[in-house]
Amino acid sequence: MKTYELIATTTFGLEAVVKRELIDLGFEIIETENGKVTFKSDISGIAKANLWLRCADRVLLKVAQFKAITFDELFEKTKKIDWSEFIPKNGRFPVDGQSVKSTLFSISDSQAIVKKAIVENLKTKYKIEWFPEDGPVFNVKVSLLKDIATLTIDTSGNALHKRGYRQNAVVAPLKETLAAALVKLSFWNKDRVLIDPFCGSGTIAIEAALIGKNIAPGLYREFASMSWPLIENEIWNEAKREALTMIDNTSNIEIFGYDNVQENIDASIANAEEAGVLDCIKFELMDFYNLNLNDDYSVIITNPPYGERLSELEEVKNLYKVFGQKLSKLETLSIYVITSDMEFEKIFGRIADRRRKLYNGRIETIYYQFHGKNPKKEATT
């Protein structure tokens, strides 16, 4: 069976997490670069990667890569590709582009030239002069980096963070892909209690539940490549059937989400129900200042208020201080906090065991990791 090169694009800082996901799914890694992981697979890998990747942004099909320092070179090399392998007569193929440190710096010109080259190629292949472009979508992207052109087609359509369960969202919600990464970068597993004391619309709790129950994050949504002739419907059907058989409904997963705004709790409950994981999450209206925590090896993963407005900064800093005081004597709790406050450790009153720079949208943040005692090690002593 023919193999293809696929690219999983990522938010900066999550490349290693996505690479591990791909390896766990059985894919062969070709290369890891800033913002993307390239891997090899047969055509069924498009379905598998889209269904199962929790932390990637998109899955792209790599069509070609070549050097291009003139527009003529870009046109001719693009035209030589057999685009009919991917795009049918009625396919819609808009072209997007980007250019970084390349001679061909005009993105709009590059997009127009690639579009024209594809049309010329398909004219020859299909023996027609006009294309209706009223069928399935094939979003083509031309990426120019240091005079190397990479041509890809987006197999995902809507970005992978759009799982489909978030019917209700709060202001500045955490992306599902980043929430899943926070869980994967922690020591949490389905045998430990998970607590999010600032749950917002419940994204961290829901993503953890999906991981704990082994529910494929893309199981109940559509992807652009589901309508492509290149991938038979049975490939998608089989991938979904397999994913359904792998769901774990037997484990006793305990996840708790708290927030001091009733609207957020209502949104969390609705979202968890839509995701099919409300059975293992309890959301409760609770101000953090009134929350009682126990020294029971629980894991806290949370995205507390950042205090981006000047009027909120003092309030947020006081919250961080109380947060640290509440947790200071609970030695078995593992605590994971993502925030844009670079002085969080000082206010919290404790130095993190590990820090990781991540981006929440365009906001640069630090993921502070405070490791509690290991329950397995404690049990053996």
Predicted pLDDT at 202: 96
Q: Which of 260, 378, 121 is nearest to 113 (CA)?
A: 121
Bridge-based pairing of strands 363-370 and 334-339 is antiparallel
Which of 163-172, 305-314, 341-350 is predicted with the least confidence, judged by mean pLDDT? Answer: 305-314
Task: Identify the band that residue 305 occupies on the pLDDT scale cut at 50, 70 and 90.
Answer: confident
Task: Identify the band that residue 309 occupies on the pLDDT scale cut at 50, 70 and 90.
Answer: low
The CATH number for 176-213+248-380, chosen from 3.30.420.40, 1.10.10.410, 2.60.40.10, 3.40.50.150, is: 3.40.50.150
Same fold, 3-154 and 176-213+248-380: no
| Residue 168 predicted with pLDDT over 90 | no
For the chain, give the mean pLDDT.
94
| Residue 308 predicted with pLDDT over 80 | no
Mean pLDDT of 60-78: 98
Any bridge partners for residue 284, and if so which? Answer: 258
| Residue 217 predicted with pLDDT over 90 | yes
Mean pLDDT of 296-313: 80
Which of 229-233, 238-242, 289-293 is predicted with the least confidence, judged by mean pLDDT? Answer: 289-293
Fold of 3-154: VC0802-like (3.30.2130)
pLDDT tens per residue across span 35-59: 999 999 999 999 999 999 999 999 9
CA distance between the termini of the chain? 53
Predicted pLDDT at 314: 83
Mean pLDDT of 174-194: 96
Predicted pLDDT at 362: 87
* SS3 track for the chain: CCEEEEEEECCCCCHHHHHHHHHHCCCEEEEEECCEEEEEEECHHHHHHHHHCCCCCEEEEEEEEEECCCHHHHHHHHHCCCHHHCCCCCCECCEEEEEECCCCCCHHHHHHHHHHHHHHHHHHHHCCCCCCCCCCECCEEEEEECCEEEEEEECCCCCCCCCCCCCCCCCCCCCHHHHHHHHHCCCCCCCCCEEECCCCCCHHHHHHHHHHCCCCCCCCCCCHHHHCCCCCHHHHHHHHHHHHHCCCCCCCCCEEEEECCHHHHHHHHHHHHHHCCHHHEEEEECCHHHCCCCCCCCEEEECCCCCCCHHHHHHHHHHHHHHHHHHCCCCCCEEEEEECCCCHHHHHCCCCCEEEEEEECCEEEEEEEECCCCHHHHHHC
Predicted pLDDT at 361: 85
| Residue 377 predicted with pLDDT over 70 | no
Task: Identify the band that residue 60 occupies on the pLDDT scale cut at 50, 70 and 90.
Answer: very high
Q: Which of 366, 375, 49 is nearest to 231 (CA)?
A: 49
Mean pLDDT of 6-14: 96
pLDDT tens per residue across span 170-182: 666 799 999 999 9
Instruction: For residue 127, give every residue at least 6 positions away whose Cβ sits within 8 Å of its Cβ, in sequence order, or none.
Output: none
> Interior CA angle at 310 toward 309 and 316, to 5°?
80
Contact status, residue 139 vs residue 96, Cβ threshold 8 Å: yes
Task: Identify the band that residue 169 occupies on the pLDDT scale cut at 50, 70 and 90.
Answer: low
Predicted pLDDT at 306: 73
| Residue 380 predicted with pLDDT over 70 | no
Q: Give Cα 208 to chain centroid, integer Å.
A: 13
Contact status, residue 59 vs residue 160, Cβ threshold 8 Å: yes
pTM score, two decimals? 0.94
Q: Which of 349, 300, 355, 307 is nearest to 324 (CA)?
A: 349
Q: Where are the domains of the chain?
A: 3-154, 176-213+248-380
| Residue 350 predicted with pLDDT over 90 | yes
Predicted pLDDT at 310: 47
CB 226: neighbour CB atoms within 10 A?
A: 17
More confident residue, 129 or 309: 129
Contact status, residue 164 vs residue 220, Cβ threshold 8 Å: yes
Predicted pLDDT at 373: 87
